[in-house]
Structure 1
Amino acid sequence: MEQIKILFFVIGTFFGVEQSRIVAEKTTVTVNPASKTITVLQENLMGIIQAESDSLEIQKELKQLISPNQPWSAEFENYTKKEKLFFSSEDDHTLNSTLTLTYSDAKDLKVFGIEVNKEGLFSMTNFPKSHIKSTDGTLGERYWTFKADQPFSFTEAPLTDMPEAYEKLLKGLLPFWKALKP
């Protein structure tokens, strides 16, 4: 398997931000092979804030990410369409984002660690700490597989087993986003 360069739950990786401080509590990924789209819904964007300087760095990163002029990572150069949307949840308690990308070839999904295997199925490594779940795929010993001719979705919840000491430092980013909105 190719090295995974884009982490679904770290929004900064989509925009080439090194050591991104912003993560999603839950991420839902939907791949549609017919339309060659991948949609990434990131729910409850958060940051670990230990000191005032962390707060300022997270605010700076968020400002960069929501900017309409922020370039996408070079990994998406071959993607024909790239869209991002930041929005508050219906109950106005969390900041979420949706990223929609249109790829040209299934090989373009390698950046996410998704490949077509020998059996002609989409395949990706299972990372137990990411708490990946899917009703569309089959979990084998080490890999998730999905039919290559049908849309499929999976969710990740990597903050599920976070140590309590770090859990206390997680802060939702909705107030930061509201302060940055024009």
Structure 2
Amino acid sequence: MIEIKIIFLIIGTFFMRENPSLIAKKAIVTVDPTQKTVSVDLLDLVAPLAKTAVNKTEEFDLLEKGAISWIPELQPFTAKTCTFQEDNGIHGARISFSYAHPEDLQVIGIQFHESKFWVFKDEQTSKVTGTAIEEENSLGFADTAPFSFQIALPADWENRVREQQAAGLGLWSPRSGMIRGTEWLETDETWTTKTNSKLFFAELKSEFTHDEKEGEVSFLDNDILVTSHNLSDKTAGKTRYRYSMDHQQMRLTLIPIHADGKENTEGKTLYFAFAPKTEG
């Protein structure tokens, strides 16, 4: 089963945004099986946790500049674009891409079987165009003609955001949540030989422990983390890594990089395997 990481209403989930901050009040998803294209129109973007206009937020600026990469799960898709529009002070965005196989759309929550595209239906989801059949909690669209559906924020979305904010949480889980709060054992590059070297990133704090040595860590966009000391030789000084996680095998790779994001070939790539907690 593929984990769905994209939330159509939260534009940052399409990208390697550490803490998404922009949300659309409505999103219309259009699939054209004849052209094998998908477009997502995010309408009326708001920044509920920011104290500035949508187009003045850091996230808007970085996305408009193309400074944040698409998430790896979207790699099978081609001709990916993200554009912004403005009408009388209301901002929107359109994300579009092409696909090769209808089964590939399952990474964005659109299933394909029995020659139909299936979308989970709840109170916030409804058909816009095309012919659909409804079975249990799903809408089914034929694979012979274009169709679209929309997702809208619930009526009490502002109260929910305030509750999230009061709890010190963002709109969505940070990308680094995939490696936080878990312990890892260092291995060789073949993932076969484990060492006694342990790595642990705190779940809510900007702290980590490596071989019982504590340090500080910052998580940035594009799956980058900055540690207060080098993890390979434990020398002092901030070190940048790009992290990559294999969710099926529960393996973590840390690739040393320079400030410009390019790989630091003089550094050492580190490999870790998930260390499940033992009782007692």
Please state if 1:121 is matched with 2:119: no
Q: CA deviation at 1:25?
A: 0.6
Contact 1:42 1:96 in 2 (8 A): yes
SS of equivalent residue, structure 1 residue 116: strand
Cα offsets for 1:4-62 (capped at 9, x unmatched): 22111110011121331111011111000111110011111112137x5x889x81222
Identity %, equivalent residues: 28
Contact 1:15 1:70 in 2 (8 A): yes
Contact 1:49 1:55 in 2 (8 A): no
SS of equivalent residue, structure 1 residue 64: helix
Distance 1:166 1:70, change over 3 A: closer
Distance 1:145 1:62, change over 3 A: same
Contact 2:42 2:94 in 1 (8 A): yes
Cα offsets for 1:118-168 (capped at 9, x unmatched): x2211122233xx1111422332211111112111001112433254758x
Alignment gaps of 5+ in structure 1? 168-182
In 2, distance between residues paired with 1:6 and 1:67?
A: 21
SS of equivalent residue, structure 2 residue 58: helix
What is the aligned residue count?
Answer: 159
Alignment of 1:14-163 (within 5 A): 14-49=14-49, 59-89=57-87, 92-117=88-113, 119-128=114-123, 131-134=124-127, 135-136=129-130, 137-163=132-158
Q: CA deviation at 1:107?
A: 1.8
In 2, distance between residues paired with 1:21 and 1:62?
A: 9
2:215 counterpart residue number: none
In 2, distance between residues paired with 1:64 and 1:127?
A: 32
1:2 counterpart residue number: 2
In 2, distance between residues paired with 1:2 and 1:15?
A: 18
Q: TM-score, normalised by structure 1?
A: 0.77
Distance 1:112 1:165, change over 3 A: closer
In 1, distance between residues paired with 2:8 and 2:46?
A: 14
Judging by fraction of residues, say which structure has more strand. Answer: 2
Contact 1:15 1:73 in 2 (8 A): yes
In 1, distance between residues paired with 2:161 and 2:66?
A: 32
Q: TM-score, normalised by structure 2?
A: 0.52
Distance 1:22 1:143, change over 3 A: same
Give the partner amino acid of 1:106.
P
In 1, distance between residues paired with 2:18 and 2:84?
A: 20
Judge which range, 156-165 or 40-49, deviates more. Answer: 156-165
Distance 1:163 1:43, change over 3 A: closer
Contact 2:21 2:49 in 1 (8 A): no
Q: Which has the higher contact order (CA 8 A, sep 6+)?
A: 1
RMSD: 2.4
Contact 2:106 2:112 in 1 (8 A): no
SS of equivalent residue, structure 2 residue 14: helix
Judging by fraction of residues, say which structure has more helix. Answer: 1
In 1, distance between residues paired with 2:134 and 2:22?
A: 28
Larger radius of gyration: 2
Q: CA deviation at 1:64?
A: 1.5
